[in-house]
A and B are shown apart, each in its own frame.
Chain A
Amino acid sequence: MMSTDERLAYMADQILRNFASRGQEAAIAATLDHIGQFWDPGMKSRAAAMPDAPGVVLSDGVRATFMRLRDSQPAS
């Protein structure tokens, strides 16, 4: 069974793949928008923390998305 982090990365990747035909940049933007609309704050902050966490393996697209998410999160 996936861990919650793995699942969040998987979900983001799945969303990215469904926007893929728009091109990488637009897909990331659409995915960020989707996450903004549908993910709970806890999921968002977990995802935002993943790029900086040691040992986490992320695909390029997911990493880029989560980094953008991290940058847009209000400082807590």
Chain B
Amino acid sequence: MMRIFVSKDMASVALGADSLAEAFASAGCEVVRTGSRGLFAIEPLAEVETDEGRIAYGPVGPNDVSAVLDGSHPARIGRIEDHPFFSGQQRFTFARCGVTDPLSLSDYAAHGGWKGLETALGLSPQAVVDAVKASGLRGRGGAGFPTGIKWQTVLDAAADEKFIICNADEGDSGTFADRMLIEGDPFCLIEGMAIASHAVGASHGYIYIRSEYPSAIAAMREAIARSATKIAPFTLEVRVGAGTYVCGEETALLESIEGKRGEVRAKPPLPAVEGLFGRPTVINNVLSLAAVPFILAEGAQAYAEVGFGRSRGTMPVQIAGNVKNGGLYEIGFGVTLGELVNQIGGGTASGRPVRAVQVGGPLGAYFPPSMFHLPFDYEAFAEAGGLIGHAGITVFDDTVDMAHMARFAMEFCAVESCGKCTPCRIGSTRGTELIDRIVAKAPRAAGTLETLPQMRNARTAARSHEEEIDLLRDLCDTMKHGSLCALGGFTPYPVLSALDHFPEDFGSGHALTEAAE
């Protein structure tokens, strides 16, 4: 009987993987459902087990089954590892994703699973923390804080109870790596959390998954059930997100797990000192925790050897938007933005010129092609007025209106704001109103109230376009430095980068001031 591998990742299913799998089954094949390989252009993908290895065909549909089975189908890719999208990758974290049956313990073990945990259990907690420090692993959620140092704080905190929390509230548009890993290799995350629990002395962990990810929630729950004895006495449970973007902020996430309104907490105290229910808590992103088994299994050195500057190891980059080869690309830090967009991503899907790339989700900065030399590295991006964030990059062609994108950022902030801090709560609404005026080229005239004779201090002259732009910059400054968390604090990135790199979209340079008369 032929063995066929078809992904059951949510994205693959959306592209028709389920009917493809059924068709193979009807044809008498043994179908193994795996995670996704990560290149959407070749999905739905079928891999046929042969003596030369797994031969891939994609994209293929149910009607292509016989052609695939007899090897005659024109969409024959050959060995997936040899495909140019994959041959350049350094798959440390996503090594098993798309290869194994996600919920098969034997598959997991056969592909190097549990090796990291076994190594860790043979070490003292401090030695495990030291290994993570030596690997140079930094938080993959966006902040880039060294994971080993965070663990050290929790290890050093004396408490009757500690927790490990995995933040899988993946809310940035254009990002999907967390979901792909949870659906494609959940035991990897479990192993990473078990290693963390040993390292810091935690007895219980939570995986906080956003409610929009039903397949990931189901996969995770099943994987936890199947691996319970393997990680005992450590225990895990899934918490389903409260449906708001801000719950992905770690302190709001803590509030949410505690059953309260998902609202950001002021830091300090750090969650590592006073986290969930006031106990020391490790909160890490899915990708940070999933990187840990490799580090323990292969050694910190193996991980740290790859990378650029202070950014060590690999980053699963998610390429999306108007791009030919959208998907997940895991590679060591240092690859340039241009390589990611043009070589790996293959340029725009529309074939038009690239105008802007947003890096780091909806709150990341927009970069013009003139900045494509930037190496993918936390420090380099920060210096250029941007951030890597969760490593989602979204490509836009030359039809994009950047003022509209800036407005979208403010609106996104207004919709997702928890309402706790003033710059975000009021500022995002004012920002939306302000950009509307700027785009409409209608600077604000004095309002009814301001023109009343009682209002001696109010300015009666209308504002100029430049004054409105200045106000937008001031507002961005207040939000960036004044906001309590990254939602309000990062919203200025897309706004200011759009304003800085694409001033023409904001009407600047044009004679708009006559409206002010």
| Complex: A in contact with B (CB within 8 Å) | no
